Structure formats: structure tokens, C-alpha cells
Amino acid sequence: MTKLKTLSVRLYGVPVGTLQQDKVGKMRFEYLENVSHALSVSMPLDRRRYGNMPCEIYFGGLLPESTEARRAIGQMFDANPNSTFSLLRAIGSDCAGAVSFHPPEHPVVEDGSHEIRVKRVSDEELEQHIRELPQKPLFIDLDGLRLSLAGVQEKAAVCIVDNEVCLPEDGTPTTHILKPKVKEDYPASVQNEYLCLRTAARVGLNVPNVEIRRAGAELYLLVERYDRKFDERNRIRRIHQEDFCQALGQRQKYQRFGGPGFKACFDLLIKSRIPVIDRMSLMQSVVFNFVIGNADAHGKNFAVLYDSQGRFRLAPFYDILCTQVYEALTQDMCMKVGGHYNFKDVTGDDWKQFSEEVKISFPVLKRLVFEKAGPIATALAEERRLLKGTEFDTEVADRMVDQVFKNMSRLVQTLS
């Protein structure tokens, strides 16, 4: 009988289950007895065993989506780039949230607060690391670094200590996500995301702290991780989280291909610790993304964040970009409003249908739009003004402002 390949699945460093792979590559997961916190909304404790598909959705959702990144990781660690199990065995010791994967014989160390142990990186070294991201995704294998982040875009996880970029050592959790510019078809992507997140903060959305930095010729965005926090002793703690696709058990992130739509997202938050507040926050983000021109708000760009009792709240919003300024990108949104995906096709009746689907009254939605749409455009214009004349200035910012004022005017007129 062929022995199953096995990984110990741990939450905050404590074993909660086993992930196994059979000889044909299928996975299965089983919770241990007396576990108090589930890994995911989609994998509750009232059912102890889960087959291959739930495993692919939840555990696969912890890995990079890019084929190139998976291939590079596979070559680096002699892992199968098409196997979720194989990749997690290679780089699953530090994932988003507080879940991690280890050989069963690996000593159990409860994942409380971590003393900060890092290696400082010079600007010259960082510039080179950023350039090598396609070959060394996530900065893995730099001084033995092994960690995983989901998503398509090239990125890395780092620690910021004394305002300097550092690489973690001895299992120190990372504190920030480093995101360099994306390919040339999308100029000034760093400034674009920076302006969107700064604008979101100005109008009251819960978003991470963000800044633009440069390492030599390489521009990058530095985003503070919301799934990590410092305690009173200045030690780092992990916080468990999962994106909406994982929580909803959806493999696809785009609605038109079977991924979650707004109804499923709002219904998920009925289970939140404070559903009224979280559902209204999500409504504010829908309005914000529509006005800011972000067509890429899909199911993996929303998340929930867990407390120590295993209850969840809506996580801060992230990965916000004015995609409308890039002609190469679709003008269709990832989730439709009413019956339409395209910004320009959405009517007042579509917004009314949307409000009925998410169970938030249409008058409340209209009031939110009338109160927030104008300030969103004004806040972006102010953030753009602050960027003007700096080393990070870009004409893309002017195009963003023009587009957002158009979006604001169209939306207000549609609902008037």
C-alpha cells in the first residue's frame, strides 16, 4: 500500500489538522479532534474531513496564481508547479494569515509573538532583488526565505525595522508587502495604487498604510500588512485571515466565470461579528470602486480577518487601482451591478436591483452615493496635488482625476 504524503497544518503554530496527497495527486484534509477554530468559513468544524476540491480552493488560494511564479518556485525547490500540495510543502511555512504547513515530525512551537530577527538590505541589494523577482518570486530562497502570498502580480514580503527594508530571519513574520511596478502596458501602477489607497483613507475606508519608495531605478509600493501586528513588547503576531473566494468555497475569482458576485459577498458578512457595520463598509467600497474606476475588485481582493475566538470581521480593503486609465484593460467589472458588468451600462434600475440583492435599501444606497461620490473625486484631486512636483509625479495621475470626476458625475446623474 502506497504511503500518503502528509503535511501538518497549523494555525498560530498549533496543529489543527493533516493535509494528505495520494498517489494520483488528490488531496484530502482532516481536522484533529478537539480543535476550537476552523481554518475557513468554507471548512467548518462540524465536518472533519474534506476532499480534493475544497482543499484546492482553500489551500490553493494561499499560493501565487502566476504560472511563471509557480514554475520558478518548482525549479528552485524541486517541487511540482502544478501541485498545490508540493508547493505548500516547499514554501508553506509562512502564509497569509496564521496558517502554516510543516512536516509532521517538525517540532510544534506555538506561534505567539515573535522577536524581530532580520537582515538589513541595502538599496543596491534591494534594487537587484526587485529586478530578479520573475526568477525569484516573493524573494524566496534569499537567505533561506520561504513564504507564500496569493495573487498574480509580482510582489514580495519584507520587514520594516527602523524605517529600513529588511529580510526576515528565524521565522520572523513579515510586516509589509513590497509591490514593484507592473509591466509597461500599465504605466505608473505604483503611483496609481498609492493614490487610490490614500484617497480611500481620506474618505474613511479602512485601508492599510502605504507609501512609495525607490531602490535605485526601481520604484515600489510598500503596503503595511493588516494580518500582522506588534504587541506591547514590540514583538510581531500573526492574525488569521482568508479572502472571500476561500471563505465562500469558490475557485474562480471572476463572477462571469462562476466566481462570487456582490450578493454572495454581502451574504457572507451576515456571519460577521458585527454584520451591520461590515456590510455597510462593503457597500461604501462598492461605491468607492465604481467612482475610482476599479474594474478589478474580484473575490480575492476582499478578505475577512479573525480574532482570537475564531470570529471574523471584514478586513481592510486592498489592491485598489484605477484600471480605467489603462486602455489594455477591460472596462467590465469583476462583479456586475444589477444586470451589467460595464461601468457605462449600469443604470438606476441596475443599482436598485443591486440593493435588493444585497438586502440594503435603495434609499440608503442613494444617500451614500450623494454623500460620498463628490468627496471621493475631491480627495483624489487633493492627493494628486500633493504628488505633483515630487520625484513620483506622473501624468497618469491627471488622467485618473479626469476619469474619476467623470465617473462621479455619471453616477450621481444616474441616481438623481
- How far apart, in whole angstroms, are the C-alpha atoms of residue 15 and residue 35? 9
- How far apart, in whole angstroms, are the C-alpha atoms of residue 35 and residue 166? 35
Catalytic residue among 296, 345, 349, 393: 296
- How far apart, in whole angstroms, are the C-alpha atoms of residue 253 and residue 245? 6
Contact 378, 368 (CB under 8 A): no
Strand order in the sheet with 118-120: 118-120, 164-168, 156-161, 176-180, 218-224, 210-215
Backbone dihedral region of 163: left (phi > 0), alpha (psi from -120 to 50 degrees) or beta? left
Locate cell 456582490: which residue? 262
Contact 107, 10 (CB under 8 A): no
- How far apart, in whole angstroms, are the C-alpha atoms of residue 412 and residue 374? 9
- Reply yes or no on whether 296 is catalytic: yes
φ and ψ at 374, to 5 degrees?
Answer: -60, -50
How distant, in Å, are the alpha carbons of 130, 132, 138, 180, 181 from that of 184?
Answer: 15, 17, 20, 12, 8
Measuring CA to CA, which residue among 333, 324, 343 is closest to residue 256?
A: 333
Contact 311, 278 (CB under 8 A): no
- How far apart, in whole angstroms, are the C-alpha atoms of residue 335 and residue 332? 9
Helices of type H across 214-347? 244-248, 262-268, 275-292
Contact 396, 191 (CB under 8 A): yes
Locate cell 467623470: which residue? 406
φ and ψ at 96, to 5 degrees?
Answer: -60, 145
Beta bridge partners of 337: 340
- How far apart, in whole angstroms, are the C-alpha atoms of residue 372 and residue 369? 5
Q: What is the CA radius of gyration of the chain?
A: 21
- Contacts for 132 with CB less than 8 Å, ≥ 6 apart: none
Q: Which residues are catalytic?
A: 296
